[in-house]
Amino acid sequence: MAKYTFKDFKSDQEIRWCPGCGDFSVLAALQRTLPVVCEEKGIDKDKIVVVSGIGCSSRLPYYMDTYGFHSIHGRATAIATGIKVANPDLCVWQVSGDGDALAIGGNHFIHAIRRNIDINLMLFNNRIYGMTKGQYSPTSRLGTVTKTSPYGTVEPPFNPGSLVLGAKGTFFARSIDTELALNQEIMLAASRHHGTAVMEFLTNCMIFNNGSHAEISAKDVKADRTIVLRDGEKMIFGKDRNKGIMLDGWKLKVVTIGEDGVTEDDILTHDSHSDNLGLQTMLAEMRWPEFPVALGVIRQVPAQTYEDEVARQVEEVSAKARIHDMDSLLVSGSTWEQK
């Protein structure tokens, strides 16, 4: 097994994203994570496959020196599923934008999650259609003015986390394009997870939706408006590390430690491994300004995977069967002989 560095995952293709595009940094994080993935899994890079649909982010496979499939709009999940079922030894990474995964490919997206096929699904969410030059997407905020919504959108957006957890997804993580370290951290967690691992990257489109995440990601406000969830750690955030999340009846609320008798003990401790879909959904749905936006791995729970079950049935049925070749099958059952 070879030892790799990030350079081994760079292809010779010229990267054609716009200068300043958020996709660059997610690509860099992936190229930095895969050497670790290969080492951990004990695989060579020919076992890595990167699959995408259509859109700006879906160009990513061309920039990776691995097996790659740049497919058609919305269908990356279905293609990735076929690849993984056909050869479970492959380590499959999918790249889709918010339009690719949640609009035209919404059906495949939820069904992959339902089946829990072991793929790592990177959802690049810039809340806009970039490649077609600026139309609203299913994650654009209500009222967003775009070329196809000149008076503002009149349809509420999806929160990808709600969709994943609503489909009883086994893994959901969120990060921001520029968070190189956190991105590598969640990519590695996704790689270790056996099942559909959805990672939402809030990416910035410089050209058509510049600053769409700035209200939470700008340097001066990030600490107060986001919270990085880590297992075993208290849900504490803020520049002064004095704010926290606690349960108030059936709901979450933001509190200040030291005020109104709140102590650190009252603050929730994160546990992505517990099968607590209700709490994890509430965390995934936290929105600024009422809440900080949750980053990091929000949920990762074990469950059987689709490709394992398919392979298990093939194995079990084969072990019990008397027929193992076509000639035996052809003469099995109801036949007669003409003498």
Nearer to another protein, 76 or 205 (CB): 76
Candidate list 23, 65, 100, 200; residue touching another protein; CB under 8 A: 65
In the numeric block, the tokens 């009422």 are attached to 290
Residue 178, both tokens: 């520029």
Task: Using CB under 8 A, pick the residue from 10, 67, 194, 268 that binds another protein.
Answer: 67
Nearer to another protein, 110 or 123 (CB): 110
Nearer to another protein, 47 or 168 (CB): 47
Instruction: Kindly write out the interface string for residues 29-48 of this chain, putting x where it contacts another protein by CB under 8 A and - elsewhere.
Output: ---------------xxxx-
With beta carbons less than 8 A apart as the criterion, state whether 217 and 202 touch. Answer: yes
- Angle, to 10 degrees, between the axis of helix 306-320 and the axis of helix 76-86? 30
| From candidates 1, 142, 303, 323, binder to another protein by CB under 8 A | 323
- Which backbone phi and psi does 87 adopt, to 5 degrees? -140, 90
Q: Which stretch binds another protein (CB under 8 A): 157-165, 185-193, 255-263, 326-334?
A: 326-334
Residue 31's Cα: distance from chain center in Å? 16
How far apart CA 137 and CA 128 sit, in angstroms, is: 5
Of 246 and 310, which has the nearer Cβ to another protein?
310
Cα separation, 263 vs 260, in Å, equals: 9
Q: Which is nearer to another protein, 80 or 123 (CB)?
A: 80
* Alpha-helical runs (H) found in 116-257: 160-166, 180-192, 214-217, 219-225
List residues bridging with 174 in a β-sheet. Answer: 200, 296
Contact 79, 37 (CB under 8 A): no
Cα-based torsion angle of the residue sequence 64, 70, 187, 2 in order, rounded to the nearest 10 degrees: -40
- The piece of 32-40, 70-78, 227-235, 281-289 that touches another protein (CB under 8 A) is 70-78
Residue 18 interacting with another protein (CB under 8 A): no
Rg (CA), the chain: 22
Least Cβ distance, residue 167 to another protein (angstroms):
12
CA atoms lying within 13 Å on the CB side of residue 333? 3
Give the per-residue contact string, 165-204, with another protein (x = CB under 8 A; - = no): ----------------------------------------
Q: How far apart are CA 125 and CA 284, in angstroms?
A: 15
Q: With respect to another protein, which residue has the nearer C-beta, 261 or 333? A: 333
- Which residue, 119 or 186, is less far from another protein as judged by CB? 119
For another protein, which residue of 15, 41, 62, 236 counts as binding (CB under 8 A)? 62
Q: DSSP per residue over 83-129, as a string?
A: HHHH-TTSEEEEEEEHHIIIIITHHHHHHHHHHT-S-EEEEEE-SEE
Site for another protein in 72-111 (CB under 8 A): 72, 75, 78-87, 89-90, 107-108, 111
Among 71, 140, 175, 305, binds another protein (CB under 8 A): 71
Contact region with another protein (CB under 8 A), list: 25-33, 63-71, 162-170, 188-196: 63-71
Q: How far is the CB of 220 from another protein (least distance, A)?
A: 40
The window from 123-131, 241-249, 291-299, 319-327 that contacts another protein (CB under 8 A) reads: 319-327
Give CA separation, 27 vs 88, 175, 177, 181, in Å: 24, 13, 9, 13
Nearest to 283 by CA among 186, 126, 181, 174: 174
Binding residues (CB under 8 A) for another protein: these are 11, 13, 44-47, 49, 51, 54, 61-62, 64-72, 75, 78-87, 89-90, 107-108, 111, 310-311, 313-314, 317-318, 320-321, 323-327, 329-331, 333-339
